[in-house]
Structure 1
Amino acid sequence: MRIDLHAHSNASDGTDSPAELVAAAVAAGLDVVALTDHDTVAGHAEAAEAVRGTGLTLVPGAELSCHVDGVSMHLLAYLFDLAEPAFAAERDLVRNDRFRRGRAIVERCRELGAPIDWEQVERIAGAGSVGRPHIASALVEAGVVATVSDAFTADWLANGGRADVRKHETDPEVAVRLVRAAGGVPVFAHPGAVKRGRTVSDEVIAALAAAGLGGLEVDHIDHDEPTREHLRGLAEELGLFATGSSDYHGHRKTVRLGEHTTDPAVYEELLAQARGAEPIRG
């Protein structure tokens, strides 16, 4: 059984539509795929329709933007009740602030000499929730950088970079409790991804575990083997499960769907903790 619990569509910063993501998951030989767009569930309905008759199981989710001790981090939320009001309100707050931040980043890029504009970024994002990858794509189109990855440096869009602007991000302990109150299961996404910037301490992860964190995303393209070993040991010590996933973004990143997967026993543990929603079996 092949299970990938972290994938994005063009409802946020992926390049595949939700239906295309489902088709790609089937083509990759997956049995289970989670749709975890940034701070939005806008792709859920299309993905649920597309999964019918495929034999694929869809796990509805989201990836939440959080911030603690000066460090940005992401929290994956699975199988929560979409209608639970407190969590829905927080997702709306974070998602809406992405537009303010996006406009401000574009303006900073222009001040730094990049010939891009907001209309270009909106065109690239389409119906998706605007994020830095869309601005990075605009910088590539304008010939400012060669690749999207090259935009995520201190010169441009990296956390704390010359063009970076802070957005509203939820305190992760608050986010964990909101996910649990909505019947969902929270998992810390790529906690050891040092190439993205500063990471939180083990003590912060322990506090999140005490608040109700369910698991750590261990097998991930941004984790080397020593990091995976450390995180696996930490998860065991804290009573958390360890997931694996691709963090697929379509052609915006080189990682393939199913490049890293979750053990079926871990998936069953995740399902056992979920109270807000059921997987959608095609």
Structure 2
Amino acid sequence: MRIDLHTHSTASDGTDSPAELVRNAAAAGLDVVGLTDHDTSRGYGEAIDALPAGITLVTGAEMSCRVDGISMHMLAYLFDPEEPALLAERELVRDDRVPRARAMVERLQGLGVPVTWEQVARIAGEGSVGRPHVATALVELGVVPTVNDAFTVDWLGDGGRAHVAKHETDPFEAIRLVKAAGGVTVFAHPGASKRGRTVPESAIAEMAAAGLDGIEVDHMDHDAETRVRLRGLAKELGLLVTGSSDYHGSRKSVQLGEYTTDPEVYGEITRRATGAFPVPGAGGV
């Protein structure tokens, strides 16, 4: 059983539509795929309608959080997408994305980069605009060779010359809100040091005490040493261990199913969730 619980579609910053994503997941031999767009559940309907037979969809979202001045992402699974408090918080984060992206464009222009808001908006399409769309614009202009190269202090990385902060949820509040909506929480790529400062283990322990369910260990941004360390931390704290591709379509080199989650861990996630249930494919349209 092959399970990938972290993917993105055009509902946020991926390049596959939700329908394309689930079809590609089936073609990649996955049995379960999690749709976890940034701070939105907007892709659910299209993904469910197109879900091929033989594959199951786990609905979720990747929430933008910040603790002690450090940005982090919280994966939320199988919550009630209409629960008012969690919906309001996700909308607050999402609504801050456009003014933030516009401000980053202005900073880049001040640095002599000929990027325009129209270019970034075209790249984002109907998705929730974010840094990856601005980064893609920099690739189009030849400023950087890849999207990942834009996430540095030279450009869009935390504290970078063109970085602009956005509203981010306190992770302890995120855990509380997701739990109240019947969902399950997993700290996404906690050891991704190439992205900037990482959350200290002491803070992860505090999150575990507050109800955090798991941490994402097997991820493209974690080297072998980091995975060993995180597995040990998860065991010490009684946290679930997941693995996921963090697929973004052509925006990143990682492929669907490149990293996966153990079926027993997936079973435990579904047992803990009460806000929603995995959706089995019915053949799609």
Task: Report if aligned partners of 2:157, 2:195 keep a CA contact under 8 Å in 1.
Answer: yes
Establish whether residue 131 from structure 1 lines up as the match of residue 130 from structure 2. Answer: yes
Matched letter for residue 43 of structure 2: G
The residue that corresponds to 1:194 in the other structure is 193
The residue that corresponds to 1:33 in the other structure is 33
Matched letter for residue 8 of structure 2: H
Matched letter for residue 42 of structure 2: A
Matched letter for residue 248 of structure 2: H
Give the superposition deviation at 1:236. 1.2
For 1:148 and 1:240, how far apart are their aligned partners in 2? 32
The residue that corresponds to 2:225 in the other structure is 226
For 2:29 and 2:192, how far apart are their aligned partners in 1? 27
For 1:11 and 1:106, how far apart are their aligned partners in 2? 21
Matched letter for residue 183 of structure 1: G
Task: Report if aligned partners of 2:152, 2:195 keep a CA contact under 8 Å in 1.
Answer: no
The residue that corresponds to 1:15 in the other structure is 15
The residue that corresponds to 2:91 in the other structure is 92
Local SS of the residue matching 2:182: coil
Local SS of the residue matching 2:19: helix
For 1:254 and 1:143, how far apart are their aligned partners in 2? 18
Matched letter for residue 205 of structure 2: A
CA RMSD, 1 decimal: 0.7
TM-score, with normalisation over the residues of structure 2?
0.97
For 2:148 and 2:225, how far apart are their aligned partners in 1? 24
Match runs of 1:259-270 below 5 Å: 259-270=258-269
For 1:194 and 1:153, how far apart are their aligned partners in 2? 11
Matched letter for residue 81 of structure 1: D
After superposition, what is the alpha-carbon deviation per residue over 1:28-78, rounded to whole angstroms, capped at 9, x for unaligned?
Answer: 100000000001111111001111x42110000000000011100000000
The residue that corresponds to 1:118 in the other structure is 117
Task: Report if aligned partners of 2:216, 2:244 keep a CA contact under 8 Å in 1.
Answer: yes
Task: Report if aligned partners of 2:244, 2:258 keep a CA contact under 8 Å in 1.
Answer: yes
The residue that corresponds to 2:50 in the other structure is 50
Question: Unaligned 5+ residue runs, structure 2?
Answer: none
For 2:218 and 2:137, how far apart are their aligned partners in 1? 31
The residue that corresponds to 1:143 in the other structure is 142
After superposition, what is the alpha-carbon deviation per residue over 1:194-247, rounded to whole angstroms, capped at 9, x for unaligned?
Answer: 111100111100111111100000111111111111111111111111000000
Matched letter for residue 25 of structure 2: A
The residue that corresponds to 1:68 in the other structure is 67
For 1:201 and 1:114, how far apart are their aligned partners in 2? 35
Instruction: Name the count of aligned residue pairs.
Output: 281
Task: Report if aligned partners of 2:11, 2:42 keep a CA contact under 8 Å in 1.
Answer: yes
Local SS of the residue matching 1:19: helix
Give the superposition deviation at 1:255. 0.4
TM-score, with normalisation over the residues of structure 1?
0.98
Local SS of the residue matching 2:96: helix
Question: Unaligned 5+ residue runs, structure 1?
Answer: none
